[in-house]
Structure 1
């Protein structure tokens, strides 16, 4: 919590504390003024004195209200600003995560940490700047003033406070672990809910709606049961406090009445003492509440710090090598080995090839052969275990990630569009792209025709994930987004799979003259997609088992021949 709290403004926190001190001092002074009115005004029938002290009470009440308003304003402002800062920092940190780090944290958990956990920290900060400051000051001040009114009556607290402490301790003992577990159960609930939403088509296709509903109900029931349990435990706090306060009042009135009868205590002092007693007990309860909620906030703070403190495995070098101005558009894999985090065997072994500008390098192989793994190494989504990857003659580990990814136009295996318009999605590749450039990119990507048919053209709305477009349309828009970048390396990770053969061929034909000064890397499943490539890499279980043109591999490579025979008839071959 302290690490996160350092992000708050010192002067704002100091102002909130100052306002709270003024409020507490004003509140503590009011019972003394009440005592004076009763003892010196009401008892003696001095109306002028009553008006004089009454106006003073009104003044201190207004000061208390103004101070409370100032404290709440600063406390709320600081807690909300801290929440804003934390959400921004977590989001920025997450955007720089490697794929391994995403897998380690989990999307649902990251969402919970950015929302629910940040809210818990905000609540604790708000509570700290209000209750945590108010309670000890009021507890000490009220105890001292109560003792000044009557030292004998304060002995009541020697019995009351230990009893209250035991009750609060028992409540905290059972409630705190449940508060902590609720964060993990929130993660689980978000996970199941998110999977149900993103996989709704698959769930419906396999008639699994009922089983998914049961799965969600189980997670929801687990979360609900824990919430009910913890709130049931917390519900004992109010009746316990009411009972203790009532018992304390009875004891004060009982013994105070005897003292008044003996003439050792004035009525006004008894009323002031009762008010201070309530302030003492309320302060004690506030402290107990703080100690109940702080562990929950601390658990959330730990989860947020886990994200912020996570060491990224892929970082920019201390000395960054700049891209050359000339001789750009080269890609070299030099005996590259790669394995996923925690894996026993290599995902890619001794991959060695070289691509030059104007060339198309195609990668083909069976499922799980390492095609996507190889393509993900180019923009450095993962780092190689040994060997090196060079773009424009420079090891990608020696250049900044920003410059590297600026030089790579990447189309992922899963087409991903963002909420907005078609124009905004295409400009994701180039911020200042003109409409003319956008239409040209759409034309190369074979998207121009269907975009022109839309009522709003480039201003047509794109739903979340591109849900209002077909799979082929989404892929072509993603390709256009990459092409508008004018990169040195274009990577198409199985990006033509949703296209029919005619569109596939037309797109590759239109692509050729536009990428004369770049290396085009195409990951594909279909022979028809790679047949015209200048260099075809054949992968099998992470190893490069063939390399050459279509004609060369067709004659000499057994794996490539198997792929051909599985996709084409003998007369087509």
Structure 2
């Protein structure tokens, strides 16, 4: 946990909180002694002036204690909240830089829990550390010394009370700490099921699995609830036991103190002060124990956060990267005997992929489900890195480029059309932050999305989370338009025409071929339909991760068995001629 806090907490703020707390404790420790002096020297002797003078000192120390407490709370709250802010920023920055391999290692639901709940646990303990962890030991030692000075014989009571209290607190920690640690993983489970339920609500309703999902969530929720009830029930025992111990201590001190007073061995004021110091000692002990109970939970959270922050990305820029030529109209892409396998997989996802493309060419990739089409195009922007072979853009291995420069040269449309909350204009400007309205409308026109956007509020049309206020085909066309807004050397469409009808698909591809800018770029289209790939300059046929054919539609139709099987499964008699 100290590793997490180091560098994220201001040393000056921590020092200030420490000094304010010392001032508060010193002021609080002086009050019982002043009370004793008023009773012993003022009340007992009837000295009103002494009572007023010492009373004024007490008011001064009380005000000083309040001001110091305010200063400590302000700095502690500011520092702990700043720590949380820094941790959330660092986690988000780290996660944004993850490759797909890292995302495969840590579930999204767990990342959400680590960024929210785990950070809150650390914030709370940081606040507690700057308050209780400083106050408790100073107060405990100071009150013990002052109580001993008031009467040595009465301090023997603490030799009985404190060990009993320590044993009880040890038992509480023994049972509570493992339950606190388990709460974080159970929170992960709730987030996972809840997130799946929200994202898959249409599927759930379509298959009438509402009750099943409710039961699944209820089971996770009950598991978390039972765990929380157990741990907080155990923690709740501390307060009545502490109250009992305090009451018993007061009775003991009063009983033996009364005898000492009767024997004239101790003034009455000293007994009053001793009782106050006894409460301060026990409260300090309780605060210290609370800190030790909550620290393990925060430590578990810190370890989970550190796992994310320490997770080394498998894709990094080289210390001295090469520059990419800026001429987008004359680009060349080469896959040179590329192999790839997913982390932990026994078999390769791609084997010996070898092809080339130049500006002005359209490359289409087709194959059965699981043949490696998406894996292939995911290598291009370095979502994953090749295992063997190389991918070269304009003669430069893409691993020698910075990820920023590489992805600046590529415009990518993923399989799932992702839109962000905001307006259509804001979504389009993800492709180019400086895009003008004219350029955006041009991209929308190519993507055949201008009609339904113009019919709404134009570029100011509101986009709900995930584009929920658009149909699947509309979301795909908007995602395509966003990619076209960006001026790139390579345009990749990863099965992004799948939700379009044949007419819109055909019109969109015609618009792409007719656009003067796209005509001078490399276009890569991943598709399932023969109709979508038939016009491509080069068609790659994948089967089980292997390149089993490449060429034009005519050549593959005549000589490639896998391509012929795909055609036969899609084209009815007479349709083939339509696409020839």
TM bucket normalised to smaller: over 0.9
Q: Tell me the alpha carbon deviations over residues 460-516 of structure 1, each in whole angstroms, 9 at most, x when there is no partner.
A: 110000000001110010001001111000000000011111111111111123312
How far did residue 571 of structure 1 move?
Answer: 1.5
Corresponding position: 1:492 with 2:493: yes
How far did residue 103 of structure 1 move?
Answer: 1.6
Q: Tell me the alpha carbon deviations over residues 262-295 of structure 1, each in whole angstroms, 9 at most, x when there is no partner.
A: 1010000000000000000000000000000000
Matches within 5 A, 1:448-459: 448-454=450-456, 456-459=457-460
For structure 1, the residue ranges without an aligned partner over 5 or more in a row are none
How far did residue 17 of structure 1 move?
Answer: 0.3
Report the aligned-residue RMSD.
Answer: 0.7
Per the alignment, residue 188 of structure 1 pairs with 189
- C-alpha distance in structure 2 between counterparts of 1:469 and 1:311, whole Å: 38
Matches within 5 A, 1:411-426: 411-426=413-428
How far did residue 524 of structure 1 move?
Answer: 0.2
- C-alpha distance in structure 2 between counterparts of 1:509 and 1:239, whole Å: 78
- C-alpha distance in structure 2 between counterparts of 1:325 and 1:435, whole Å: 25
Per the alignment, residue 524 of structure 1 pairs with 527
Per the alignment, residue 322 of structure 1 pairs with 323
Corresponding position: 1:551 with 2:554: yes
Match of 1:381 among 375, 380, 383: 383
| SS of match in other structure, 2:389 | strand
- C-alpha distance in structure 2 between counterparts of 1:517 and 1:350, whole Å: 28
| SS of match in other structure, 1:115 | helix
| SS of match in other structure, 1:153 | coil
| SS of match in other structure, 1:280 | helix
- C-alpha distance in structure 2 between counterparts of 1:235 and 1:328, whole Å: 72
| SS of match in other structure, 2:526 | strand
Corresponding position: 1:55 with 2:38: no
Per the alignment, residue 125 of structure 1 pairs with 126
Match of 1:560 among 540, 559, 563: 563
How far did residue 450 of structure 1 move?
Answer: 1.0
Matches within 5 A, 1:367-406: 367-406=369-408
How far did residue 391 of structure 1 move?
Answer: 1.2
Per the alignment, residue 68 of structure 1 pairs with 69
TM-score (norm 2): 0.98
Per the alignment, residue 334 of structure 1 pairs with 336
Corresponding position: 1:138 with 2:139: yes
TM-score (norm 1): 0.99
How far did residue 517 of structure 1 move?
Answer: 2.2
How far did residue 393 of structure 1 move?
Answer: 1.4
Per the alignment, residue 3 of structure 1 pairs with 3
Q: Tell me the alpha carbon deviations over residues 88-114 of structure 1, each in whole angstroms, 9 at most, x when there is no partner.
A: 000010011111211211000000000
- C-alpha distance in structure 1 between counterparts of 2:303 and 2:504, whole Å: 52
- C-alpha distance in structure 1 between counterparts of 2:308 and 2:420, whole Å: 25
Match of 1:434 among 405, 424, 436: 436
How far did residue 328 of structure 1 move?
Answer: 3.8
**Which stretch shifts more, 95-104 or 196-205?**
95-104
How far did residue 350 of structure 1 move?
Answer: 0.2
Matches within 5 A, 1:234-313: 234-313=235-314
How far did residue 231 of structure 1 move?
Answer: 0.6
- C-alpha distance in structure 2 between counterparts of 1:543 and 1:280, whole Å: 74
Corresponding position: 1:343 with 2:332: no
How far did residue 325 of structure 1 move?
Answer: 3.3
- C-alpha distance in structure 1 between counterparts of 2:520 and 2:536, whole Å: 16
How far did residue 570 of structure 1 move?
Answer: 2.4
Q: Tell me the alpha carbon deviations over residues 241-266 of structure 1, each in whole angstroms, 9 at most, x when there is no partner.
A: 11111111111011100100110100
Per the alignment, residue 444 of structure 1 pairs with 446
Determine if contact 1:193/1:216 at 8 Å carries over to the other structure: yes
| SS of match in other structure, 2:351 | strand
How far did residue 329 of structure 1 move?
Answer: 2.1
- C-alpha distance in structure 1 between counterparts of 2:431 and 2:259, whole Å: 85
- C-alpha distance in structure 2 between counterparts of 1:117 and 1:199, whole Å: 26
Q: Tell me the alpha carbon deviations over residues 142-163 of structure 1, each in whole angstroms, 9 at most, x when there is no partner.
A: 0000001001111111111000
Q: Tell me the alpha carbon deviations over residues 137-186 of structure 1, each in whole angstroms, 9 at most, x when there is no partner.
A: 00000000000100111111111100000010000100000000000000
| SS of match in other structure, 2:357 | strand
| SS of match in other structure, 1:313 | coil
Corresponding position: 1:155 with 2:156: yes
Per the alignment, residue 570 of structure 1 pairs with 573
Determine if contact 1:418/1:462 at 8 Å carries over to the other structure: yes
| SS of match in other structure, 1:204 | helix
| SS of match in other structure, 2:265 | coil
Determine if contact 1:37/1:268 at 8 Å carries over to the other structure: yes
- C-alpha distance in structure 2 between counterparts of 1:11 and 1:58, whole Å: 30
Per the alignment, residue 107 of structure 1 pairs with 108
Runs of 4+ in 1 over 6 A off after TM superposition: none
**Which stretch shifts more, 514-523 or 159-168?**
514-523
**Which stretch shifts more, 113-122 or 388-397?**
388-397
How far did residue 127 of structure 1 move?
Answer: 0.2
The count of aligned residue pairs is 572
Determine if contact 1:179/1:296 at 8 Å carries over to the other structure: yes
| SS of match in other structure, 2:519 | coil
- C-alpha distance in structure 1 between counterparts of 2:15 and 2:566, whole Å: 72
Corresponding position: 1:357 with 2:359: yes
- C-alpha distance in structure 1 between counterparts of 2:5 and 2:40, whole Å: 47
Determine if contact 1:330/1:518 at 8 Å carries over to the other structure: no
